[in-house]
Structure 1
Amino acid sequence: MADDADSQRSSPVLQLLASGLQLWIRQQCEALESLELQLHGSSLGLLRGRLEGVSLVARRVVFSSLEFEMVELRSDAIQLQVGNLLRGRAVQLDHPFQISGYVAFSGAGLSRSMCTPHWRPLGDQLVDGLLGLMPLQNLSIERDRLVLQAQDRRCETVPRAVNGALELCSSEGGPCVALPADPNINIREANLEGGLLQLHGSARVSP
């Protein structure tokens, strides 16, 4: 990591690309408290259209009305065209690439997210499947349980990664509800730790 950081600081092309990527990421988010970005590769490799990867750590992110407490990602090698970059234009990606890492959500952040118009239907779908009631009133994390409430009733659930998707199962032996799966996202592990819902996995990003 130190070698990559030194290379990035000493290379005007990598610095330019890093600045462009940071600006692009911030423009995609409704809010972003902090962002650390690390490029892996060399100027020569970049001029040949190949970046060995990108690592990022972001905190307190809001993307598509969904609040993330923490995001840590690392990409595989990326093929790109740098001609536009050198002319002050946006970088053009040539091929899909993989990213892996983890995201973490707080209970308060999830509760606020599920109350937005974008995510409310999903929140209602969850409590309907778990409690047979709607709408979702609150979502919280209590110890090692994800707790959903509707009409003064509550259901303690345990998150699980099942076939690449997230599933919530009642801790009292009740029903399980699977969240809609995205074929480009593979969730390998889901757990509750330190008051956060943590999801580990990978995703395929297409230009």
Structure 2
Amino acid sequence: MPSSDSTVAPILKRGPIRRILEPALQLWLRSQVESVSSLEVHLEGGDRQILSGHLPNVRLKTQKVVYQGLHLSQIELNGSNLRINIGQILKGKSLRLLEPLPIDLSVSLLAPDARASLHSALFQSAIIDALLMLVGEQITEALGQSVPSELLVLQDPYLHLSDNTVRFSALLSVRQGERSVPVALKTSLRLEGPHTLSLDRPEWLPTPQSKRGLPLRDLQGYSFDLGPQVQLQELAIAPEGIFVRGRMTVLPEI
């Protein structure tokens, strides 16, 4: 009967190796993150290809992922020509890439998740390093001394997003010390190329609520090199969140 053929055919196309490997990959991915609301893994390729360690295409879709304190609202990945150590995986070993893996990605970071990520150690370390690099003179003057990044901590960090503009504020304090300085910055961000993100019209704000501040003209056009493994095609900042689309290459562990 036609109705039974339409339901059975997709099942017949999905071989036993895929039925074993997809849940195994889901379990492994869940073990790599602190929490995840939903996780879908889809493998393409016949059992013979998969048993050779070659997967023509891998699609991954997740929602509400927390990784090292970073809250990611939604991630969609599409990897092609994945080559893995399938023989070792079937023996219970961990998955390992055998060749570089190009991945098309789409990442959504909604505003509440972006603010929650501000408290992660990974994010705080990156922000403190960026602040010292961008406005280190102002921070040193306010603190009355030069303080290494490992002795600084961000208190009450806050992020406000608007069209293509980021406003960040926090209290930058010396660990186990009494000195602190309020920090408030506003800047637009733009892609100068697939590997380069630059500041546009950065300002030092007198208070977090200030609509206008002191232009940081020396930082106009200051760029961050994202590295050759990253190729961003789109970066959108809106009141709802941050949205990124592009490609990255995952390298095998040496």
TM-score of the aligned structures, taking structure 1 as reference length: 0.80
Alignment of 1:1-207 (within 5 A): 6=10, 10-127=14-131, 129=134, 137-150=157-170, 151=182, 153-160=184-191, 162-170=193-201, 174=216, 175-179=220-224, 181-193=226-238, 195-207=240-252
Distance 1:113 1:43 in 2: 40
Contact 1:108/1:140 (8 A) holds in 2? no
Shift of 1:28: 0.9
Q: Deviations over 1:57-108 (max 9, x none)?
A: 1111122322211111100111233223333443443222111112121233
Alpha-carbon separation, structure 2, partners of 1:27 and 1:18: 14
How many equivalent residue pairs?
204
Gaps of 5+ in 1: none
**AA partner of residue 72 (structure 2):** F
User: Is the 1:114–1:122 contact (alpha carbons within 8 Å) kept by the matching residues of 2?
Assistant: no
Contact 2:73 2:108 in 1 (8 A): yes
List per-residue Cα deviations over 1:122-141 (Å, max 9, x = no partner).
Answer: 22344552797665831121
Q: Report sequence identity in percent.
A: 21
> Residues 18 and 9 (structure 1 numbering): CA distance in 2 closer, same or farther, change over 3 Å?
farther
Give the number of the structure whose alpha-carbon radius of gyration is greater: 2
What TM-score do you get using the length of structure 2 for normalisation? 0.67
The offset of 1:23, in angstroms, is: 0.9
Q: Secondary structure of 1:52's match?
A: strand
Q: Is the 8 A contact 2:164 2:237 kept in 1?
A: yes
Query: Which shifted more, 170-179 or 111-120?
Result: 170-179
Q: Mark the runs of 5 or more structure 2 residues left unpaired by the alignment.
A: 1-8, 140-153, 171-181, 204-214
Residues 111-120 or 41-50, more deviating: 111-120
Return 79-88 or 69-78, whichever deviates more. Answer: 79-88
